[in-house]
Amino acid sequence: MKTKKPAMPSIQSFFNPAMLSKVIHAKGIDPDKLPTKEELDQLTLEKAENAVRIQHQRHYYRMSVWSGSSPLHFKFSDWDVTMQKNEARARKLGNQAFRLTKELATSPFNVVMSGDRGTGKTSLALAIMDQLMNVGQTAMFVSTAELLRLVNEKYEAPDIRERLTYIAKDMKAVDLLILDDFGTESGQPTENGYYRPVHRDLQAMMYQVANARTNFDSNEVRHATIITTNNRKKDLEAMYDRKTIDRLMTKNPAHQLAFDEMEGVRNV
């Protein structure tokens, strides 16, 4: 003869007022401080929105184009001014970048970081990226030299052609786009000091990206772009269509960081 299993308590029993009162008393819960249904619904909605935001952030970050496929990481706390002889200038640049980050958290605009190689431009761009991702913005890092490599290889590799399509799409829509070492994709200047135009396919891509990130109705920036470059604006205009450069490079002096007085020290 089989032994009957004890019956499971009905779901209604868990909501028995007397039982609920005992649980509240045993746990020391103040009934007046229990969340209302509306508050619980709002909390559920916020959790769902946060999950979607994190998913978007991860997507755009994964679409970044890193040199050597190796992601870079840098925070403002890593900015060591003692690695520069001109510590005052290094401190000023760090503070300026931090102030711009606070502004970018509330409104988009473009930033240009220019100067010699290894002076810390990429480091501060990454620090801004890290800070803005912490407040919920999406961000994407693109090495233009690596992007050119993909463009050159797309003719022999269908998978790279498809990847470039998605990269271009995301470059147009991401909250913060970093174009790192912008201008190196043109190669070395000629003997006369002139720069050659970059690959026409890359020119077309950058033109479309620049247009998509600009609000022509208000003549303002739609999404923020940070450019790090070793080149002057006139050199970049020789590499790209002038309209592309005008839409990507800010004319506001407050949004320009010049690393001219900094020495070439890697990992600054």
Confirm whether 5 is domain-assigned: no
Determine the average pLDDT of the residues in 77-83.
94
> How far apart, in whole angstroms, are the C-alpha atoms of residue 59 and residue 40?
29
Q: For position 49, what pLDDT does the model report? A: 67
Q: For position 11, what pLDDT does the model report? A: 43
User: CA dihedral defined by 23, 29, 32, 34, rounded to 10 degrees?
Assistant: -80
Confirm whether 194 is domain-assigned: yes
DSSP 227: E
Q: For position 47, what pLDDT does the model report? A: 73
Residue 267 scores a pLDDT above 50: no
Confirm whether 10 is domain-assigned: no
Number of H helices, E strands in the chain: 9, 7
Stated pTM of the model: 0.81
224: containing domain: 48-258
Q: For position 193, what pLDDT does the model report? A: 80
Residue type at 177 in one-letter notation: L
Single out the residue of 232, 261, 254 nearest to residue 91, CA to CA.
Answer: 261
Q: For position 20, what pLDDT does the model report? A: 65
Q: For position 22, what pLDDT does the model report? A: 75
Q: For position 10, what pLDDT does the model report? A: 45
Question: pLDDT digit string (tens) for 150-168?
Answer: 999 998 898 999 999 999 9
Determine the average pLDDT of the residues in 35-45.
72
Residue type at 205 in one-letter notation: M
Question: pLDDT digit string (tens) for 178-214?
Answer: 999 999 998 888 878 888 999 999 999 999 999 999 9
Does an H or E element contain 203, and which? helix 200-212
Neighbours of 67 (CB within 10 A): 17
- CATH number at 230 reads 3.40.50.300
Does an H or E element contain 257, and which? strand 256-258
Confirm whether 32 is domain-assigned: no
Confirm whether 61 is domain-assigned: yes
Q: Provide the pairing of β-strand 220-221 with 214-215.
A: antiparallel
Highest mean pLDDT among 19-23, 47-51, 77-81, 257-261: 77-81
CB distance 239 to 195 below 8 Å: yes
Confirm whether 38 is domain-assigned: no
> How far apart, in whole angstroms, are the C-alpha atoms of residue 57 and residue 135?
11
**Number of domains within the chain:** 1
Confirm whether 196 is domain-assigned: yes
Phi, psi for residue 111 in degrees, rounded to 5: -130, 140
CB distance 197 to 186 below 8 Å: yes
> How far apart, in whole angstroms, are the C-alpha atoms of residue 139 and residue 129?
6
Q: Is 201 helix (H, G, I), strand (E, B) or coil?
A: helix
Q: For position 7, what pLDDT does the model report? A: 55
> How far apart, in whole angstroms, are the C-alpha atoms of residue 235 and residue 238?
5
Residue 1 scores a pLDDT above 70: no
